[in-house]
Each structure stands twice: as structure tokens, then as C-alpha cells.
Amino acid sequence: MLSRIVLVTPPYHSGVVETAGSWPNVAFVYLAGALREAGFDPIIYDAMTAHHDMDRIAAELERYAPDMVLTSAYTPSYPAAARMLRVAKETLPGVITGIGGVHSHFMYDEVLTKDGDAVDFVVRGEGERTLPELVQCLNAGDNLAKVEGIAYRDENGAVLATPARPFVHDLDSLPTAWDLVDWSLYRFYPLPDTKLAILSTSRGCDQSCTFCSQQVFWNKTWRARSAESVIAEMEMLRDRFGVGVVMFADETPTLDETRWHALLDGLIEREVGSHILMETRVDDVLRDQAIMDRYHGAGINHVYLGVERTDQTTLDLFKKNTEVEMGKRALDLVNGHDMISETSLVLGLPTDTPETIEATFQLAQHYNPDLAFFLTIAPWPYADIYEDLKPHIVSYDYEDYNLVAPVVKPIAMEIDELMEQVINCYRRFYMGKLKSIATMSTFKREYFMVTMKLLMENSYLRQHMGGLGSMPKEVERLMGKWL
């Protein structure tokens, strides 16, 4: 009988995202909650944040002695996830293994064909209803075809996928298992004395961005938790676990204007007091320009806006449904209310040249975010834009699809030249920011200096950037206590 189930975050590191901090795998918090409610014994094990290698993972799995080992992966972390499940099979003879996440959801046939020795099941879509039902089915020796939302191999080795499971309608009803999280692992580095949680306030995306997987994964649907449910969870995390920083996991928490404004008002009225990091869309910020003080009052101090590219032609290709100057106005609103503004710009399209990259850099400076990340486009094999990128792909190693390593070769550039251009964008942007430290508010200056220190000392980028060049004496003085 299957009872003890370990949920393992695989040990994959790409560097850039990890400069911000470390946070729990919120999907596992929900899955563990659902498994426990169904009578099983779940364990959450974050091998990534613990920096455990495969030998240590094998030892930990042997200690836990689970009946089932599950993991989740996005495309660049998938190879590490497959290796980890193979280690589980070698360490624990007879153990049942499974994987979920966006990559396996779309690529289940490849997963079960290529790594069928390591993976017994793929959980597709949302797993809170599917996973307990799958375990119950296995324990009962029942027909797996009855379980919606899975893929597996039959006795002849053929890959079978059951019908998709409908999305969970009432997100407020889903149980969580925050008490199974090892909170000693999680910090937001610019505020190092605070614990960091990642919290889902909604699920889905109703947009059509061609380079992204979210709108495909969620079938262009969007569902939200109630404002009261989100606020109560933030209060519980603060009071029970000492969480002082919350990152919203959703792409567009602001989509429903009435619900979003109720959430802001509730956070203010109940003085929740958590620092909030969030992502949203340019057009939602512009919609809310008259109430940006309520963003700040609710605790939001870091807003990521995905402008992606700064020429209208490419925005139209990406189907971002925004205009170039809308991004500038939205970032100005965030900056004007003393919140950290962050954005990303996508480079490395097949049509890119040194001139188009320079134009993107110049417009990035025009946008003037506090933090900018110059990302190389990743050819997700399930994204709408994949067929356009496919002739130009130079690496099919999924671990390279981390938005840092260039894997799509522009027609008019070599890969090494593209990487040099990307790193030059980083160097020039952040050197320019360093020179303007004295004009920043105290909050932004301290936040920025910590972020810069992390970028220079702890990031994957540091291998490629070397030094940032010589700094003016005034900048050296201001940065001196950090660098």
C-alpha cells in the first residue's frame, strides 16, 4: 500500500532568479495538503534550495523510506528531475515515481518514452484532485484509465493519456500544508532577516503571448481566490511562521479589478504588514494609476512588469497587446510611488542584430526600471512561437533553456557574439544605475545595493561578466559597505 509520499524539488540552478532569494515550492504545499486530507503521509523535500547533490538526495530518500517519490519540473529543470527520479528508483527498489509541472504536462509522451525507466506517471494539469485519486487507484489495483489527468505506459509499453481533468473551480477550498515546509531555507536577500513565502492568489492567464506557456497550460482561463482567503493566509504565515515577505506567484493577480481593489483595501485595513513582490501587466497598472498609493499602502514594494521587448513590431509578434509607451508610463507610475520596478527584455530572436540589440538597450534606459534583466529567448517546445524559432535552435539540452544561455542563433550573429552583447547590456545598464545611487530614495538605494552585490557575487552571470569595470569614486564610496 502506498502511504508515505515524498515531494522533491529537483536540484537545478540557473543563477539569475536565485539572486532574489529562495522560496518554497507552493505547488507542493497544495499537493501535500491534498494528500494529507486524503489520508496519506506527505513529506516536502527541497533538494534545490538545500543544495543537495544526487548522493545526498539518495541518502535522504533512504532515510525517508517513501512508497512514492514525486517531483515537478519546468523545461530547464526537467533533466535534473529525471536524474533524481532515476536515483530514487536505484535507491528504493519498487518505489513508484511521478512528475508534474508545465514541461511534463505538454511533453508527457517524450518523458515516458525517453525516461520511462525513471518515470512511472505524469500528472497533467492541476494535481490536487488527480494525485490523491491516482494513489487511491493504485492502492485498490483499479483501472488507471479511470483517473483523469494522467499519462502512463501500459503493459506493452505504449504511452496512454487519460482525458484532461477540469480545473478546480473553488480555489479557496484547497487545503495547504505550510507546516511541512522547512522555513529555515527561505529568505528574501534584500531583506535578509525576513522569511519569504510564495503565495498563489489566482491561477491562469487569459492572454495570447506566443513565447509563453502559461496561456496554453491554462487554456486562456483565469480563476481567483477571494480577497479574504488571501489575506487570511498572509496573516497565518506571518503569525505562525514569521513570514515577512510574500511573493505572489500568479502572472496577473490584478486581472479582476473589483477583487484586486478589495484585496488592497483589506491588506491596508487589517495592517497585514508583509512586504509584497508581484508581477502584473502594464495595462493593469495604467488602469490603477489613480490608486497607486493603495498599492504602496498594502505593502507592495516590488513590481515586475513584462515589457519583454521595446519595439512595437516585436511586441506584436509576441502578442503582448501593449504599446511601447504604455510600458514607460507604467514603470514611471511604479517608480513614482517608491516601489522597486523590475522588467525583462527578450534578446536573441532570429532577426536580431547588434543594431537591434543596441536599440533595445537604449529603450531599456528610456524605460528606466530599477532592475532590468536581458533574457535570451528560450524555445519552449510547446509555445506558439516554437515553429518560428526551431530552424535557429543550436542546443536541444533543456538545461540550457534558462533564459541566460543563448540557444537560438540570430541569422546575422554568432552565439558568442550574442552572449557578448547580452552581457554588455547588463554591464552598461547597471553601471549607469550605480552612478545614480545618490538620487535614489533611501529605500531604493539600500535595496538596489544589496541586489547589485548579489548580482556581482552570487549569480550565474558573474561567470560571464567578470568585473563591471572601474567605478567612479563616489559610487565606490556609496557601495563600499556592501562590496
- Fold adopted by 186-479: pyruvate-formate lyase- activating enzyme (3.80.30)
Looking only at the bridges linking them, the beta strands covering 300-308 and 340-347 are parallel
* pLDDT at residue number 434: 86
Tell me which H or E stretch contains 21: none
* pLDDT at residue number 237: 98
Cα-based distances in Å from 331 to 19, 307, 469: 22, 10, 28
Helix (H, G, I), strand (E, B) or coil at 147: coil
Distance CA 455, CA 468 (A): 11
Length of the chain counted residue by residue: 483
Domain positions in the chain? 4-161, 186-479
Cα-based distances in Å from 388 to 74, 211, 283, 379: 21, 10, 27, 9
269: left (phi over 0), alpha (psi -120 to 50) or beta: alpha
Low-confidence ranges of the chain (pLDDT < 50): 315-321, 465-472, 481-483
Query: Hey, what's the cell of 308?
Result: 519583454
* pLDDT at residue number 451: 79
Q: Where are the beta strands (DSSP E) in 312-405?
A: 340-347, 371-376
* pLDDT at residue number 206: 65
Looking only at the bridges linking them, the beta strands covering 121-123 and 150-153 are antiparallel
Rg (CA), the chain: 23
* pLDDT at residue number 317: 46
182: left (phi over 0), alpha (psi -120 to 50) or beta: beta
Decide if 4-161 and 186-479 have a common fold: no
Residue tagged 539572486 (cell numbers): 19
* pLDDT at residue number 118: 98
* pLDDT at residue number 471: 46
Is residue 452 a contact partner of residue 429, using CB atoms and an 8 Å limit?
Answer: no
Is residue 339 a contact partner of residue 330, using CB atoms and an 8 Å limit?
Answer: no
Tell me which H or E stretch contains 204: strand 202-204
Distance CA 4, CA 41 (A): 5
* pLDDT at residue number 325: 83
* pLDDT at residue number 157: 94
Helix (H, G, I), strand (E, B) or coil at 383: coil
CATH number of 4-161: 3.40.50.280
Distance CA 406, CA 26 (A): 29
Please list, in sequence order, all residues whose beta carbon lies within 8 angstroms of the beta carbon of residue 406, skipping any fewer than 6 positions away. 348, 376, 394, 415, 418, 419, 422
DSSP 281-296: -HHHHHHTGGGHHHHH
Least Cα distance to 120 among 74, 152, 81 occurs for 152
Query: Hey, what's the cell of 40?
Result: 496519506
CA 402 to chain centre: 11
Q: Is the dihedral of CA 458, 213, 36, 9 positive or negative?
A: negative
Tell me which H or E stretch contains 446: helix 442-458
Q: How many of the other CB atoms lie within 10 Å of CB of 387?
A: 10
The pLDDT tens digits of the residues spanning 207-263 come to 655 555 565 655 667 889 999 999 999 999 999 999 999 999 998 999 999 999 999
Please list, in sequence order, all residues whose beta carbon lies within 8 angstroms of the beta carbon of residue 405, skipping any fewer than 6 positions away. 376, 395
* pLDDT at residue number 443: 86
Distance CA 167, CA 204 (A): 10
Is residue 410 a contact partner of residue 418, using CB atoms and an 8 Å limit?
Answer: yes
* pLDDT at residue number 215: 56
* pLDDT at residue number 437: 84
Cα-based distances in Å from 164 to 15, 78, 109, 129, 147: 34, 22, 15, 12, 9
Is residue 408 a contact partner of residue 349, using CB atoms and an 8 Å limit?
Answer: yes
Distance CA 461, CA 458 (A): 8
Is residue 278 a contact partner of residue 247, using CB atoms and an 8 Å limit?
Answer: yes
Distance CA 252, CA 249 (A): 9
